[in-house]
Amino acid sequence: MKNVLIVYAAPEPKSLNGAMLAAAISTLKGGGMNVEISDLYGMDFKAVLDARDFPDRRDTVVFDPAAEQMHAIATGTIAPDIAAEIEKVRRADLLIIQFPIWWTSMPAILKGWFDRVFAPGFVVNLQKGQVYGNGLLRGKKAMVVVTAGSSAELYSPAGPHGDLHQHLRALTHNLLEFCGLEVLQTHVVYGAVGIAPEDADREIERYVDRLLAL
């Protein structure tokens, strides 16, 4: 495993997420990894999948997003910003998906990245049944890294929010595993809102240890 893509969706560089990103870059590069970053807020990434993504439409009368994505992948005519992200994913052996939990889910900008970049024809082929174990991203790994404002107790199976890992299953299983990725255990920082500096330092150290264990 040599090439890592970090897809990062947090808006404030001086946040705990920003510190974790910096630690990840330093740790992975120090371990001899090639690291690419898709800082979605920093890139002002366009989050909406729409007809503008397809300069060479298959059907100019009725817009069918999935059909246009498959056509664009097959013909190499997808929008340049999407094409650049697809090439990053192609190069990566490991994808790290990092974001703060908002309303028990991912920020909209990250959902938009998946909507636009994880295009049928690139990540799956439904006609040929190339999904899950046969997904087109098989052979690659993914790890989800999140910060949650609430405590581990609130996000426990018996807590009022429910099990955070089950909430994230739509991402880890129905999206990442669906595309053939081997999904590693999710790394969670609970109680991130108002975290004390010494606790933040401990969480960063814990994250670094996790990365070194890869």
Q: What is the pLDDT of residues 173-187, one digit of tens each?
A: 999 999 999 999 999
Q: What is the pLDDT of residues 126-146, one digit of tens each?
A: 999 999 999 999 999 999 999
**Gap between the terminal Cα atoms of the chain:** 9
d(CA 101, CA 4): 22
pTM above 0.95, yes or no: yes
**Active site members:** 149, 155, 161
Topology at the third CATH level for domain 3-47+58-213: Rossmann fold (3.40.50)
Q: What is the pLDDT of residues 179-212, one digit of tens each?
A: 999 999 999 999 999 999 999 999 999 999 999 9
d(CA 184, CA 40): 22
Write the single-letter amino acid at 199: D
Task: Using alpha carbons, select from 194, 195, 211, 188 the residue that is nearest to residue 22.
Answer: 211
Task: Using alpha carbons, select from 209, 176, 179 the residue that is nearest to residue 7.
Answer: 176
Instruction: Record the tokens describing residue 35, joined without a space.
Output: 């690291």
DSSP characters over 159-201: STT--HHHHTHHHIIIIIGGGTPEEPPPEEE-S-TT--HHHHH
Q: pLDDT-based confidence at 59, cuts 50/70/90?
A: very high
